[in-house]
Amino acid sequence: MNNLLVAQSGGPTAAINATLSGVLHGVRASGKIDQVFGAKNGIEGVIKDHLINLNDILMDTGALDLLTCTPSSILGTCRYKLKECHQDEETYHKIITTLKKYEIKFFIYIGGNDSMDTVHKLSEYCIENNHDIKIMGAPKTIDNDLHMTDHSPGFGSAAKYIASTIKELACDIGAYDIPAVTIVEIMGRNAGWLTASAVLSRMNGGAGVDLIYLCEKEFDYKRFIHDVREKLSQKSGILIAVSEGIRDGSGAYVSDTISSGTVDIFGHKYIAGAARALEQLVRTEIGCKVRSIELSLMQRSASHLASETDIMEAMMLGQKALACALDGETGKMSVIKRISNKPYRVEFDSVPVHQVANKEKTVPIDWITPDDHDVTSDMIDYLLPLIQGEINLKYQNGIPRQFSL
């Protein structure tokens, strides 16, 4: 049997189900796959033999369309760090046992940086132990920090949501004639791409965001207060966007002053709270009205503001990953290569996943203005094509319909 397994991993996005939909559309078009299975909760589902038959979805065009526009990971997700095979041979044995039980010849893992590490380790294990199973990665991350791809599915939709929300907030705070500061915290531990997208709130007229601080540059508290005072001297209400991962000169997260210091399974510190920390600082140093807003999970689940470009590219990357697997490729990730900005043109390719795993793509320093509180036109040119278009959501009882298994 030529059976296919697909799984989703890492933080959910508005586009990760579109990638799954792209894989399933590719299966229908190829006619080369007998059965399609989904692993419940990523690689953990493979280890535990929690697989779901997805063939019924293949036969339902309406279900596929609904799946494409549904946020989050309908197969469930996980944050599981696969150890090296010599450290945990038993887990690799469980994975291979499940794959052989269901006669899996092709495995597509949709996820971000840590997921691509799993693709790399598992594909190498299969090659070394003569298991004829082709394993491909399909990218996903709103942080846009994956190497070797121009951008990642999920980022464009999150950027569109951020730009739109910041623009609406600017309208709100602009209605008052009293000194006020609003600080918006945006996801991004080491890569400030999402925070940079706040600059698009200035499109189509209106003030938009006033100050932008990315985690790529050292955060200076004194300079920040100076910047805020200067902006308040020019207008009554100002709007600031900050990356959740901003750090001071000592390397400490700004959020450390109010966070617990706990870490996740990968050793990453929980860092939410930068905006709240800066809210306290502004209240102490300036004394004006100030509030902090953390966009949090809304950034990655707002399918009502999804970018059509993002959704269509997510589908194409799923199809590309499947096509590569059917062509005998393994240990690779499907990627986007940008050919031009105007007009916007891309092509889809694949790269060895070891060039992606455990690496981070950050914002080029020369795309940040010398004053460290804004971004350049190069960033705008990069971002604009990725937020274009709107998807045609299906509504019922006044709210969007969503796919569920």
Residue 299 to residues 231, 295, 328, Cα–Cα distance (Å)? 27, 6, 36
pLDDT at 23: 98
pLDDT at 261: 60
Residue pair 364/384 in contact (Cβ under 8 Å)? The answer is no
pLDDT at 263: 62
pLDDT at 269: 65
Residues at the binding site are: 11, 113, 141-143, 187-189, 244
Helices (H), 245-295: 274-285
pLDDT at 376: 98
Chain-centroid distance, C-alpha 266 = 17
Residue pair 166/198 in contact (Cβ under 8 Å)? The answer is yes
pLDDT at 59: 85
Residue pair 215/243 in contact (Cβ under 8 Å)? The answer is yes
pLDDT digit string (tens) for 21-38? 999 999 999 999 999 999
Residues at the binding site for diphosphate are: 11
Q: Which helix (H) or strand (E) holds 182?
A: strand 180-186
One CATH from 3.30.1490.20, 3.40.50.450, 3.40.50.2000, 3.55.50.30 for 3-141+303-358+392-400:
3.40.50.450
Asked if the domains at 3-141+303-358+392-400 and 155-301 fall in one CATH topology, the answer is: yes
Residues at the binding site for substrate are: 141-143, 187-189, 244
Instruction: List the beta bridge partners of residue 107.
Output: 5, 135
What superfamily in CATH does domain 155-301 come from?
Answer: Phosphofructokinase domain (3.40.50.460)
Q: Provide the residue ranges of all domains of the chain, joining segments of one domain with +.
A: 3-141+303-358+392-400, 155-301
What residues of the chain score a pLDDT lower than 50? none
Alpha-carbon torsion (183, 187, 192, 196), positive or negative: negative
* Catalytic sites, residue numbers: 143
